[in-house]
Structure 1
Amino acid sequence: MSFSSPELPSHVKTVLVTGAGGFLGQLILASLVQSHPTVQLIATDIHPPRIPAGLSSEEEKLITSLAADLGDESSIATLFEGKKVDLVFALHGIMSGGSESDFELGYRVNVDSHVSLLKYTTKHSKLERAGSPAVVYVYASSQAVYGGPKCLPEAVVDPDTTPLFPESSYGVSKAIVELYVYDYSRRGFVDGRILRLPTVCVRSGLPSSAASSFISGLVREPLNGQVSVCPVADSPEDPNMDSLGVHVTSVKTVVKNIIYSSTVPASKFPAHSRTINLPGITTTPRKIIEALVKVGGEDKKKFVEYKRDAQVLAITAHWPGGFDPSYALSLGFGQDDPETGFLTASQTFKEELEASK
Structure 2
Amino acid sequence: MPGSNPQPVALVTGASGFLGGMLAAKLRSRDWVVVGIDRVPQPRLGVVTADIRDVATLGRALPRHIDIVIHMASLLSAFCEKNPAEAFDVNVAGTAKLLEVLADRGQPALLMASSIAVFNGVRATDDTPVRPSSAYGTSKVMAELLIADATRRGIVRGHAARLPTVAVRPGPPSGAASAFASTMVKNAFDGTDISVPVPAGQQIVLTSPTAAVENLYRLAETLVRERAIVPNTINVPGIAVDVDDIAQQCRAAAPATVRIRREIDPEVAAVVTSWPAGWDCPSAVRLGLQQDTSFADILADYRLRG
Q: Which amino acid aligns with 2:237?
A: P
Q: Which amino acid aligns with 2:87?
A: G
State the SS of the aligned residue for 2:66.
Answer: coil
1:211 to 173, 177, 182: 177
CA–CA distance in 1 between the matches of 2:124 and 2:62? 39
Equivalent runs, 1:138-287 vs 2, <5 Å:
138-147=111-120, 151=121, 155-160=122-127, 162-226=128-192, 228-232=194-198, 240-241=199-200, 243-264=201-222, 265-269=226-230, 274-287=232-245
Deviation of 1:250 after TM superposition, in Å, equals: 1.3
CA–CA distance in 2 between the matches of 1:222 and 1:294? 9
CA–CA distance in 2 between the matches of 1:84 and 1:266? 17
* Residue in structure 1 matched with residue 298 of structure 2 by the alignment: 345
Aligned length: 300
CA–CA distance in 1 between the matches of 2:11 and 2:104? 15
* Residue in structure 2 matched with residue 135 of structure 1 by the alignment: 108
Q: Which amino acid aligns with 1:159?
A: D
Contact 1:193 1:262 in 2 (8 A): no
Query: Deviation per CA, 1:184-223, whole angstroms, max 9, x where unpaired?
Result: 2233321222100010111112211100000111001221
Change in 2 beyond 3 A, CA 1:159/1:124: closer
CA–CA distance in 2 between the matches of 1:224 and 1:298? 8
* Residue in structure 2 matched with residue 109 of structure 1 by the alignment: 90
* Residue in structure 1 matched with residue 73 of structure 2 by the alignment: 92
1:15 counterpart = 2:47: no
Contact 1:21 1:50 in 2 (8 A): no
Which segments of 5 or more consecutive residues in structure 2 lack a partner in the other structure?
Answer: none
Q: Which amino acid aligns with 1:206?
A: P
Deviation of 1:226 after TM superposition, in Å, equals: 4.2
Q: Which amino acid aligns with 2:46?
A: T
Query: Deviation per CA, 1:93-139, whole angstroms, max 9, x where unpaired?
Result: 110010111111111111001111012112232xxxxxxxx312110
* Residue in structure 1 matched with residue 26 of structure 2 by the alignment: 31
Deviation of 1:141 after TM superposition, in Å, equals: 0.5
1:124 to 93, 105, 111: 105
Contact 2:126 2:233 in 1 (8 A): no
* Residue in structure 2 matched with residue 58 of structure 1 by the alignment: none
Contact 1:247 1:280 in 2 (8 A): yes
Deviation of 1:230 after TM superposition, in Å, equals: 2.0
* Residue in structure 1 matched with residue 35 of structure 2 by the alignment: 42
Contact 2:2 2:67 in 1 (8 A): no
Deviation of 1:331 after TM superposition, in Å, equals: 2.1
Report the TM-score when normalising by structure 2.
0.91
State the SS of the aligned residue for 1:16.
Answer: strand
CA–CA distance in 2 between the matches of 1:10 and 1:189? 16
Deviation of 1:227 after TM superposition, in Å, equals: 5.0
Percent identity over the alignment is 30
Which segments of 5 or more consecutive residues in structure 1 lack a partner in the other structure?
Answer: 1-8, 52-62, 126-133, 233-239
CA–CA distance in 2 between the matches of 1:91 and 1:351? 24
CA–CA distance in 1 between the matches of 2:210 and 2:115? 18
Query: Deviation per CA, 1:42-86, whole angstroms, max 9, x where unpaired?
Result: 1111120364xxxxxxxxxxx5321112111101112125x4222
Higher mean C-alpha displacement, 223-232 vs 259-268 = 223-232
**RMSD across aligned positions (CA):** 1.9
Deviation of 1:297 after TM superposition, in Å, equals: 4.5
State the SS of the aligned residue for 1:107.
Answer: helix
CA–CA distance in 1 between the matches of 2:52 and 2:241? 36
Contact 1:195 1:278 in 2 (8 A): yes
1:321 counterpart = 2:274: no
Report the TM-score when normalising by structure 1.
0.79
Q: Which amino acid aligns with 2:235?
A: N
State the SS of the aligned residue for 1:328.
Answer: helix
1:73 counterpart = 2:55: yes
Contact 1:295 1:350 in 2 (8 A): no
